[in-house]
Structure 1
Amino acid sequence: MLKNYLKIAWRNLRNNKMYSSLNIAGLATGMAVALLIGLWIWDEVSFNTYHRNYNQLAQVMVQATNKTANGNAIFTGSTTSIPMGYELRDKYSGDFKHVSLVSWQAAHIVATGDKQLSQTGMWVEETFPVMFTLKMLTGNAEALKDPSSILLAQSVAKALFNNADPLTQTVRIDNKMEMKVVGVYEDLPYNTTYRDVKLLLPWKRYVNGTEEWIKNSQTQWDNHMCQLYVQLNDHADLNKVSAKIRSVPTPHITFSKEELLLHPMKKWYLYSEFREGKLVGGRISIVWMIGIIGAFVLLLACINFMNLSTARSEKRSREVGVRKTIGSSRRQLVLQFLSESLTMTLLALILSLVMVQLSLPLFNGLSDKLMSIPWGNHVFWLLILTFTFITGLISGSYPAFYLSGFKPVKVLKGTFKAGRFAALPRKVLVIVQFTVSVALIIGTIIIYRQIQYTGNRPVGYTREGLITVDINTPEIAGHYDALRNDLLQTGVVADMANSNSAPTEVFSNNIVEWKGKDPSITVSPGTIAVSHDFGNTVGWQIKEGRDFSRNFPSDTGAFILNESAVKLTGFKSPIGQTIRWLDRDHVIVGVVKDMVMESPYQPVRPTIFHLNPYWARLITIRIKPGINLHDGLAKLEPVFKKYNPGSPFVYKLTDEEYAKKFNDEKRIGNLTTIFAVLAIFISCLGLFGLASFVAEQRTKEIGIRKVLGASVFNVWNMLSMGFVTLVIISCAIAVPLSWYFLHEWLQKYEYRTTISWWIFAMAILGTLLLTLATVTYQSIKAAILNPVNSLKRE
């Protein structure tokens, strides 16, 4: 019986090539989208599962009630102080199996012989590799107890030593430290937090090195300058342990209040947004949005199948009548039509897999992933076949039950008519299709409008022509003035300075106080150490007071505040006021206009700039206006090589770094654009098939109308307006729905665009034009047919 079903199904596919092709193409496109989104969602939800202690690892977060320009708010941050790690290790060993302090990621020069590489590294305590279950290819994961040891990622070890054994080899870090390789670990997968980290350096060397401010930070509870991770004991309850350690900082910080909480690894990536001390979501909203879009695109493909199958019902009515007359039950007919649906779905699956394989490189580039089809995974095939079976049942269920319900007496007498309401379900489904499509078009426009609006936001300094270079070797740090002079002599440099934060980031924040501040409120603005020429280099705008100057030796302890920091303090006349930080009073000498250094979507963080070139970790250089960037960099490189011959010249363009802040929104926009295009394509594919069927069904009517004097335009108008009406209804539904959901989406941005009426008008007009273009071919083809031939047909 099954063989017979499949044989009939194949025969029907061959006899109706156009409709079968439309059905299979639509289904394949929808299934390809669903497969791509399924792979993308799996990559998202499996983020960090590479680490075997995934369910036991957590990051220690710090919460404080911060004073802001708009009142008081609970701030949750990932930056902690070193003493917090020592305290948790010493006094809470019953709750934690391991505790590890970790520095922020930074570029380091690693060299051996004549090979030099710039790689991202971190200073970590010796427990870090064990906690994060790094897969050691050689060596010992716990060997970082030795202050002169280093762990290398496999790719770095390969680049430095080729096939030679890297163990016990010596590498030079930043041209100032000789480190012994004690282990090589497998490069972390792309969907892990520390995928870019290729060097792990010993924490003991970091805190006991030559930097006095790092040494001093070991006893400073208010100096937030590192990260802290813990691994819970096997049977420890995260919520109970989090509550237990909440008040750890209280006895040690007398002029403000801080609390700790544990943020589990399984929530780092998708649930990273805190509001008023509560975890409220994060990237999970993007996962839901893309997943829903994928489901809708697949639904559109299933709707196409239903529409085209039921539209051709009258052509198969005689077949149903004959088969019922000779004894076929309705159950057998349902199975016959479902087998046809499943046959087409299997063919669509094969085509969709080809489409996915061919489009994955492009999709990976758009979504910043490294996904691939797991061909050898049995679970994948089980899910795919189940997904295909369900898709086939959904898309074929309505046609199967509809067609199998025909009355054989009426069909065989020739008196069967589909009825005035027979087309109603098809019309409803077309409306659903175009409602989704129009909503996606409107959403795409709004997303790009938001990116454009925020990209045009005044940033308070001049990004063009700025580059940053890391200071990670003593050759540069010890010859800064000579390097500056030589760079200025090249004729391409307008000015340069050093700082501990790039113009596109705020590296650290610290607790400050002043006379009259409420001691129950924590104030921790961003703090950036700069040299004298920083303001002139980045082009900040002085609002009050003055810039740092070499003519004032006292500026070594002076502060310049941005406008948001002034609002934070409440100073009416900030110049000359003092702020206490790290047990020292600092005088405010200037106020600068707010600079957008972090998220362009959020208010500017209150920031304090202090004159302290000894804390600098990078150089900022401004290329003179009118100088070609490529030519300018060509003249800078020899100067850096002169002072730092053993290191590659590595730089970052401030413009490009700022553009990266829009990456998530751009990816959402790109993906939404693709899915909107595919949704419209699938909808128009179905519309084309329906228009073809309607034109064929009304061939005699068109012939009679033409004999009676109807023009080509009259016939075109008759056939097209029905579809245009459905699309207009779709637009009427899509517009308010789109407005509501997009308005809600924009609320998460403090700095956001408005939803203008022309966006909806453009989406509606574009959809109507596309609809007319789709149905016009079939309409005109039917209109110009010779009425003599039309009326001869039986």
Structure 2
Amino acid sequence: MIRNYLKIAFRNLTKNKVYSAINIGGLAVGMAVALLIGLWIYDEFAFDTYHRNHDRIAQVMQQQTLNSEVKTASAVPIPLARELRNSFDADFKHLVLSSWTTRHILTFGDAKFTRMGNYMSPEAPAVLSLNMRKGTWQGLKEPSSILLSESTAKALFGETNPLGKMVKIDNKLDVKVTGVYEDLPYNTELRDLRFIAPWELYVASTDWVKAAQDNSEWGNNSFQIFAQIADKADMEAVSAKIKTIKSDRGDKEELKFKPEIFLHPMNRWHLYSEWKNGVSAGGRIQFVWLFGIIGGFVLVLACINFMNLSTARSEKRAKEVGIRKAIGSARTQLIGQFFSESLLVVAIAFVFSLVLAQLALPFFNEMADKKMAIPWASSWFWAAGLGFSFLTGLLAGSYPAFYLSSFQPIKTLKGVRFRVGRRAALPRKVLVVLQFTVSVTLIIGTVVVYRQILHAKNRPIGYTREGLVSMHVSTPDIHNHLDAVRNDLLKSGKVVGITESQSPTTDVWSNNTGFTWTGKNPGLQADFATIGVSFDFGSTVGWKFIDGRDFSRTFSSDSSGFVLNETAVQFMGLEHPVGQTIQWNDRRFKVIGVVKDMLMSSPYEPVKQTIYFIPRRAGNFVTIRINPGSNAPEALAAIEAVFKKYSPTSPFDYDFVDAEFALKFAAEERIGKLASIITVLAIFISCLGLFGLASFIAEQRTKEIGIRKVLGASVTHLWGLLSMDFVVLVLVSCLISSPIAYYFLDDWLQNYPYRTELSGWIFIAAGLGALLITLLTVSYQAIKAALMNPVKSLRSE
């Protein structure tokens, strides 16, 4: 029987090629979208599961009350690790002190590369369960050792065995390669970890780190601690135990910040990384749910098309149903027949969806910043795919199966056209309203996402980023010859400015407390972004002064001078800031100038109160402004020649500041691109549904149209008559989708302190766009019916 069902189903598909192509194409697109979104969601939930003990690994984090608000950060002091070991040793299997993942120069012979890496405690390889290709997890126990990732080892040594070879870090530290580990996968937060050097080497070679460790500086929150809890320990219980460890054992000066320590599990790093006033506010998990719902809706839209197109052909299959019932077919057999057709269509669509997904996957990966692959060899994938297809077939075929099998054989075999009541059309109209409600909501959402991105991009940034080149400096060579480097570059005519800073132009690397000024509330624990810069910083980046002057070498007192941004002046409540004295711990500084806010961090957040000063230590970054009249490649060549002259052992790596600034919009732009593509596909699928319903209506009203034409109705009048039903449905969709879109988008925009507005024209434009798309879609069927010869439609009367 099943074989017979499938044979008839296949004959019906080949007989009605256009109908079959639309049905299969719509379902294939919907299933391909659902498949890609399903892979994306799986990859999001699979983040960091590469590490064998991911469910028992956590980052030690802290919360402090600053500026009357609870701030959450992963930066912690060195002594905290010692206290955790001493007081809670039974609760932890491993504790790992770590620097931040930053760029360093690795050199072997003539080979020199810049790679991201960390200094970490010897337990790090065991905690991260690194897959060692050569050597063992014990490699970091030697004080002058290094573990390299497989790709880094190959870049430095080629196919030669690297074990025992000597490598130089930042042109100053000689270390021996004691291990090579497999590169960490792309879906892990530590994927940029290209080498690991011992923590003790970091301490021994960096004076300020040594001071922080030797002097037990509880206030120096400049480090990371990773922990693996004991096998039988509970993560939440251990986190609760250590909550007051810093306030109980730390410096009494820290008590005023009300510090609280807790564990942030690795399983939550990727999806739950946002905090608001000390409370977890989610993170990427909101996008997981969002795209999961959108993927489900797109698939439902495709299933709705199947239903609409099947009912549109109902009149043609009415006699078939009548004959089958007349010769003894039970309704259950007819339902089985229609379900078999549905499952055959879905099976073919599933095959095409796999092809579409595979073809689209490289493009999708690039947009979503992923490195996913369809797991062809996974039995779970095929089980899920086939099960998913079966359920889709049942969902898509349910309405046609039960609807078509309900036809009465007496009426159909008498030659009477199959008629239904007014309410019979209601389900189809509801489905079309649902389709366009989803589509219009997606249109509005996509427009708002792009408006938010554009709003942030057009925000004043307080300096001129075009023509700025930034270089992370890992060695002291350039700093030690900065004046000579500046003179050579200016003489070349290719450069008009060069400066050093302790933070990149597009980020803030340092925040500090301990500031006192006239009029300060004694109970306020304030922190400021603190940017150490050289004298030429302002003239190089082009910041804009509101009051006072820039740093100058002609004033020796400027080494104890501050330049404030306008937010700092407002935060401190200073009416006439220039000339006032601010105390920073035990040093006194005089305000020499006030500049407009420089947008250095997130373009969606308010600019933080910032203090610029001349530091005692060298800067980590060199920023150069290319002469506007120079060719960029030629200018870069000139810069490289000068840098090679004074730092011949360092690779020449640089970033354009405007490109670095553009990366701040990457996450939102990816969301916008994905949303726009899904929106286009949803509209395409919805239009197929409209096409099906237009076919159905035109088929039902053939004789009415013929009579109207005989009585003198014009083609334009008939087109309007047939199109009006769809216009009403789309208007209802707009009325439903607008409040839904407003509710969710307004909630989404609340995540951005600096945000665009939900203007009424967006909803109006989305509605008009949907109406235009509707008219274009139904016009073909409406005009075709209006042009039909009335003689053919009325001759049977």
RMSD: 1.9
Aligned partners of 1:654, 1:379: CA distance in 2, in Å? 45
Residue 291 of structure 1 aligns to a residue whose secondary structure is helix
Match of 1:215 in 2: 210
- Paired residues of 1:224 and 1:510 also in contact (CA < 8 A): no
Which of 463, 469, 472 pairs up with 2:471? 469
Match of 2:171 in 1: 175
- Residue 234 in 1 paired to residue 222 in 2? no
CA offset digits 1:165-223 (Å, max 9, x no partner)? 110111222222222111111111111111122121221111111x4322222232112
- Paired residues of 2:120 and 2:197 also in contact (CA < 8 A): yes
Match of 2:611 in 1: 608
Aligned partners of 2:557, 2:92: CA distance in 1, in Å? 47
- Residue 458 in 1 paired to residue 460 in 2? yes
Match of 2:3 in 1: 3
Which of 181, 202, 208 pairs up with 1:206? 202
Amino acid at match of 1:641: K
Q: CA deviation at 1:426?
A: 0.7
- Residue 619 in 1 paired to residue 635 in 2? no
- Residue 419 in 1 paired to residue 415 in 2? no
Where does the alignment leave 5 or more consecutive residues of structure 2 unmatched? none
Match of 2:380 in 1: 379
Quickly say closer, same or farther: Cα 1:179–1:267, change in 2 above 3 A.
same
Amino acid at match of 1:264: P
CA offset digits 1:423-450 (Å, max 9, x no partner)? 2111111111111111111111111011
Match of 1:155 in 2: 151
Aligned partners of 1:586, 1:93: CA distance in 2, in Å? 44
Aligned partners of 2:456, 2:546: CA distance in 1, in Å? 23
Compute the TM-score of the two structures, normalised by the length of structure 1: 0.96
Amino acid at match of 2:195: L
- Paired residues of 1:498 and 1:613 also in contact (CA < 8 A): no
Match of 1:123 in 2: 119
- Paired residues of 2:515 and 2:526 also in contact (CA < 8 A): yes
- Residue 599 in 1 paired to residue 605 in 2? no
Q: CA deviation at 1:575?
A: 4.1
Q: CA deviation at 1:485?
A: 1.5
- Residue 364 in 1 paired to residue 365 in 2? yes
Amino acid at match of 2:366: G
Match of 1:27 in 2: 27
Quickly say closer, same or farther: Cα 1:131–1:289, change in 2 above 3 A.
same
- Paired residues of 2:52 and 2:129 also in contact (CA < 8 A): yes
Which is further off, 701-710 or 732-741? 701-710
Residue 419 of structure 2 aligns to a residue whose secondary structure is coil
- Paired residues of 2:312 and 2:692 also in contact (CA < 8 A): no
Match of 1:429 in 2: 431
- Paired residues of 2:444 and 2:763 also in contact (CA < 8 A): yes
Amino acid at match of 1:57: I
Match of 1:676 in 2: 679
Aligned partners of 1:254, 1:37: CA distance in 2, in Å? 51
Match of 2:286 in 1: 285
Amino acid at match of 2:251: I
Match of 2:242 in 1: 245
Aligned partners of 2:51, 2:574: CA distance in 1, in Å? 49
Aligned partners of 1:522, 1:235: CA distance in 2, in Å? 39
Match of 2:485 in 1: 483
Aligned partners of 1:449, 1:406: CA distance in 2, in Å? 51
Residue 614 of structure 1 aligns to a residue whose secondary structure is coil
Aligned partners of 2:53, 2:297: CA distance in 1, in Å? 36
Q: CA deviation at 1:264?
A: 0.9
Residue 625 of structure 1 aligns to a residue whose secondary structure is coil
Q: CA deviation at 1:657?
A: 0.8
- Residue 756 in 1 paired to residue 759 in 2? yes
Match of 2:72 in 1: 76
Amino acid at match of 1:47: F
Which is further off, 315-324 or 292-301? 315-324
Amino acid at match of 1:659: A
Match of 2:55 in 1: 55
What count of residue pairs does the alignment treat as equivalent? 789
Residue 196 of structure 2 aligns to a residue whose secondary structure is strand
CA offset digits 1:115-147 (Å, max 9, x no partner)? 221211111121112111111111122221222
- Residue 146 in 1 paired to residue 148 in 2? no
Match of 1:323 in 2: 324
- Residue 134 in 1 paired to residue 126 in 2? no
Quickly say closer, same or farther: Cα 1:564–1:81, change in 2 above 3 A.
farther
Aligned partners of 1:252, 1:793: CA distance in 2, in Å? 96
Amino acid at match of 1:555: D
- Paired residues of 1:96 and 1:231 also in contact (CA < 8 A): yes
CA offset digits 1:305-348 (Å, max 9, x no partner)? 11111222222222222222322222222221111111100011
Compute the TM-score of the two structures, normalised by the length of structure 2: 0.95
Q: CA deviation at 1:148?
A: 1.5
- Paired residues of 1:449 and 1:753 also in contact (CA < 8 A): yes
Which is further off, 587-596 or 451-460? 587-596
CA offset digits 1:262-316 (Å, max 9, x no partner)? 1111111110111121112111111111111111111100111111112222222
Quickly say closer, same or farther: Cα 1:245–1:544, change in 2 above 3 A.
farther
Which is further off, 303-312 or 241-250? 241-250
Quickly say closer, same or farther: Cα 1:384–1:779, change in 2 above 3 A.
same
Match of 2:497 in 1: 495
- Paired residues of 1:531 and 1:613 also in contact (CA < 8 A): no
- Paired residues of 1:64 and 1:522 also in contact (CA < 8 A): no
Which is further off, 37-46 or 96-105? 96-105
Quickly say closer, same or farther: Cα 1:536–1:85, change in 2 above 3 A.
farther
Where does the alignment leave 5 or more consecutive residues of structure 1 unmatched? none
Amino acid at match of 2:52: R
Match of 2:221 in 1: 224
CA offset digits 1:556-595 (Å, max 9, x no partner)? 3433332333344444444455555465444443333221
Identity %: 56
Amino acid at match of 1:2: I
- Residue 14 in 1 paired to residue 10 in 2? no
Aligned partners of 2:245, 2:544: CA distance in 1, in Å? 41
